Amino acid sequence: MNTHYRVVVIGGGVVGASVLYHLAKLGWRDVCLLERAVLTAGSSWHAAGGIHALNADPNMAALQAYTIDLLPEIEKESGQNIGLHMTGGLTLAGTPDRWEWLQSAYRVFQSIGIEDCELLTPEEAQKRCPIMSTDGILGAMWADREGYLDTTGTVHAYAGAAKKRGATVHEHTKVQALEQTADGWKVVTDKGTITCEHVVNAAGLWAKQVGRMAGIELPVSPLKHHYFITDTVPEIAKLDFEVPMTVDLEGFTYTRQDQNGLLVGIYEVDHEHWAMDGAPWDYGMELFQEQTDRIEKELICAYERYPALENVGIKTWVNGAFTFSPDGNPLVGPVRGKRGYWSACAVMAGFLQGGGVGKTLAEWMIHGEPEADAWSMDVARYGDFAQNKRYIQETTGQFYSRRFVMTYPNEQLPAGRPLKTAPAYTAMSDAGCKWGVSWDLEVPLYFAPKGFEETPTLKRSNAFDIVGAECRHVRDKVGLIDITGFSRFEVTGPNAEHWLNRIMASKLPAPGRARLAPMLAPDGRLKGDLTVFNWGDRTWWIMGSYYLRAWHMRWFEDHMDAGVSVRDLGDEVCGFALTGPRSLKVLEQVCAGAADLPFMGCAALDVGLFRARVARMSVAGELGYEINVRYGDHIKLRELLLEVGADQDIREYGFNAMLSLRLEKSFGIWSAEFTQGYTPGETGMDRWIDWDKPDFIGKEAALAERDTGAKRRIVTLEVDSIDADASGYEPVWMDGEKVGFVTSGGYGHTMGKSYALAMVSADSAAEGTNLSVHVVGVECPARVIAPSPYDPAGKAMRPKAGASS
């Protein structure tokens, strides 16, 4: 065994083998994989091996589609048979809401390029899967590219293809310790010590321990999972084709053919964790005794759906462990503060997602950024709060039990909540606040009458009128909103301005001013839609999306200069914003300098008894002021503003209204209009770039786009929908041809119209272009309109002196 490699991959399952293969494929051949036992020992050997291109998360669906395309290539390149059976697959819907969701999902898959799907009647579905009963089924979705494979053969195929490209695999080599060095890592094994530049934790069931070796607490936990394989089913044996992969959403089961029998897998509601601190080191090829009492309800559903099971025996039970993250997606990418340490963990659907995970991580490591937006599986989407064992237990269990349960866009799930609250949380709750969650923080959605409960739905909910009233009140009078849920970073030091000029693509604001600032990756794609504040005292702030705190801090630290300090203020600073034409009338009663603040001005001011940092700006497109204070001031600041604002009819409002108001202004937000998969020219963020700056990260790529022009653009659509609104990833059509997709949408309550922002091809982006959008499965006429349907001149944000109501 060599004593030095460029990369050491720890873990010989499908994910580790895929990472190894992709590193070698992209040209890094000085790489090795260490496996404490033999390849597949862990979860890979007993996985059911099902593959399908569909996923409720479009980014994960694209990842799975890549893996499916890769599998035949791996088989050919390695010479290893992977037992690939592409049978096609069915997803069954048994309730009106589920059928509605399936029709909507069908259109979303079209948006992301999955074209091999079709909707079927129950009778059409039964023709493709003759052994199933259609009792209670309203419809189904068929996908061509579904099936199953031989799990052991597939892991060996990845590893074999990697070895053919120069990579090395060491089985029976246990990692005992990790030590960070100035140049990388020391990997201490029972066969000797290896030095390397990069180490990859692909340890699966042992990811927790391998993380702790480096001082990292990963939010992962194994859970037990059942499936069984029957003896020969006569009804299957007489068919001249394989029955398809079938997911019964109402029954919590999935099935596929296994020889002439049936494999039935169950995501049991009564879930059970196992070895939350990581599997024992001597565990590997074992299984647990089946627990039929725990899965009784699901078993009954399976036997009702497939009556032929009543007459056959069960040949094999599998009750094995798989590792899950809080939201079920993988944990991939560089770990903040541990340069050269990479996570490739919690890939619970390893044979379905492993190819995409390997590609993503290898590109990230070699090129600095992956080709596709990796946010949905980025390890940085969780912070220190997710290290808590109870949080991990609640959230992973919730995901597992809801694996086949429909989650509505307006539904709030309870696991791991409430965790962190702003100080005024209790008082706001008493005032009727209904809460959502951003990262670890409870954020206000809207204020409702006592006893109100929102009904989960794909369409407009029973909170529609409540949110509408909040919107109109903000437009007409003044609203108060808790803005604790914004991220704030303090930048100081002798080189702070120079660093900000390099990391931000915009011109920096003058003292006492704030400015919108796009942040770019070297390839010119977005890394942030941020606001930079120059407080005039050699202190700068960067403000952005709260849930990106760890992600942005990792980026800042990875691009840090000497003489610069960046501090996350997310646990120190909170605040409220006043929004609406009467906001100045409220603020000037308790803040002497408020009237002197220009639009996008900022200053340290006294607000009542509180020393605050105040900025004049508004996400809603109205006159507005953001008031930032210490956590200890939050409760009394709220009381003060409500008291002095009473004569102006001040009312509290929430983020649901804010999102409606920003749509009427065509203001984009991160994870919708702005992502790391989009460029400044596509999103309109190029208007904030300072092209005259000598240099900034991403300038060369941004200039190239400016000179050639973006091939697609974000536009504002007015949509003729009746009882539902677009939300994201719905396809946009022109004369029957798909020309783009919705990035976000909703109802503009003050304009009385349904709007959507959409990424469309440049030749379909002209104002007045007639298009159509599928909204909850229904095609609705739409048209491109000028940006900012409300107050296009922006006069509401910049009223003349004395003009406030």
The 3-class secondary structure across 249-303, one letter per residue, is CCCCEEEEEECCEEEEEECCCCCCECCCCCCCCCCCCCCCCCCCCCCHHHHHHHH
**Cβ-Cβ contacts under 8 Å for 682 (sequence gap 6 or more):** 710, 712, 713, 714, 759
Ramachandran angles phi, psi of 286, nearest 5° = -100, 165
Say whether 214 sits in a helix, a strand or coil: coil
Structure tokens at 780: 């609705």
Domain 674-785: what homologous superfamily?
A: Aminomethyltransferase beta-barrel domains (2.40.30.110)
Beta strands in 11-113 (DSSP E): 31-34, 50-52, 89-93
CATH top class, domain 4-375: alpha beta
d(CA 181, CA 523): 29
**pLDDT tens-digit readout, 218-238:** 999 999 999 999 999 999 999
Average pLDDT, the chain: 96
Residue 611, pLDDT > 80, answer yes
Residues comprising the chain, all counted: 805
Ramachandran angles phi, psi of 420, nearest 5° = -115, 135
Residue 804, pLDDT > 90, answer no
Mean pLDDT of 384-403: 97
Mean pLDDT of 29-45: 97
Could you report how far apart the first and last alpha carbons of the chain are, in Å? 77
**pLDDT tens-digit readout, 564-599:** 999 999 999 999 999 999 999 999 999 999 999 999
- The CB-based long-range contact list for 613-617 (8 Å cut-off, 24+ gap) reads 613/533, 613/535, 613/541, 613/573, 614/587, 615/514, 615/533, 617/514, 617/531, 617/797
Per DSSP bridges, beta strands 540-545 and 526-534 are antiparallel
Residue 156, pLDDT > 50, answer yes
**Cβ-Cβ contacts under 8 Å for 502 (sequence gap 6 or more):** 559, 561, 695, 696, 697
Count of C-beta atoms within a 10 Å radius of residue 176: 13
Residue 701, pLDDT > 60, answer yes
User: Rounded to whole angstroms, what are the CA distances from 140 to 88, 264, 366?
Assistant: 13, 19, 42
Q: Where are the domains of the chain?
A: 4-375, 674-785
Mean pLDDT of 112-134: 94
d(CA 726, CA 721): 9
Residue 438, pLDDT > 70, answer yes
Closest CA to 55 of 105, 98, 119: 105
**What pLDDT sits at residue 441?**
98
Residue 57, pLDDT > 80, answer no
d(CA 195, CA 178): 10
